Amino acid sequence: MNRPDETDPTGHDPQSDPARAGSDVVVRGATVDDQTRCAHYASPLDVVAIRFRCCGEYYPCHLCHEEAAGHPAERWPASEFDARAVLCGVCRHELTIAEYQAATACPHCGARFNPRCASHSHLYFDIPALFRAK
Ligand SMILES: [Zn+2]
Ligand SMILES: [Zn+2]
Ligand SMILES: [Zn+2]
């Protein structure tokens, strides 16, 4: 209640804004801005963070996890692709892995995702070879 530095000059109540519903999600690692870009991937399209199955924590990329987590990354098996494990850094909406695989942009705010991420998504998700980007 008493949080003076979150006062919104428009009088808009941030608590009632559904776009902020997931804004308490913590993204770890070498983030360089508040849209989950990191020291490794910082193009305008690199706005997603991935929750790692091993520790349940969000990191901007597999290199951030490797440097900061101190344990090997565990990939999500295809049987768990309905887990919410992908975070849009722009609006903090959480997508399931299956939703992310099918999306080219955030279904909530429309932010474009980096199509090149598909080429290394097997680092995060155990995608059947049939569906892997060549
Ligand atoms: Zn981990
Ligand atoms: Zn990184
Ligand atoms: Zn979004």
> Cα(41) to centroid of ligand 2, in Å?
6
- Within-domain flag for 79: yes
Q: Which ligand is located closest to the Cα atom of residue 95?
A: 3
Annotate 30-59 with b (16+ C-beta within 10 A) or e (fewer). Answer: bbeeebbbbebbeeebbbbbbbbbeeebbb
The domain total for the chain is 1
| 52-85 tens-digit pLDDT | 999 999 999 999 999 999 999 999 999 999 999 9
Domain membership flag for residue 10: no
**Å from CA of 20 to ligand 3 middle:** 10
- Domain-located, residue 48: yes
What pTM does this model have?
A: 0.75
Residue 78 lies in a domain: yes
The series of mean pLDDT values per 10 residues for the chain, 134 residues long, is: 54 47 78 92 89 97 95 96 96 96 94 80 80 53
Q: Can you give the residue range of the structural domain that contains 73?
A: 19-131
Ligand nearest to the CA of 107: 3
Q: Ligand 1 centroid vs 32 CA: distance in angstroms?
A: 20
Separation of alpha carbons 123 and 76, rounded Å: 9
**C-alpha 124 to ligand 3 mean position (Å):** 20
Q: Residue 11: inside a domain, yes or no?
A: no
Any domain includes 107: yes
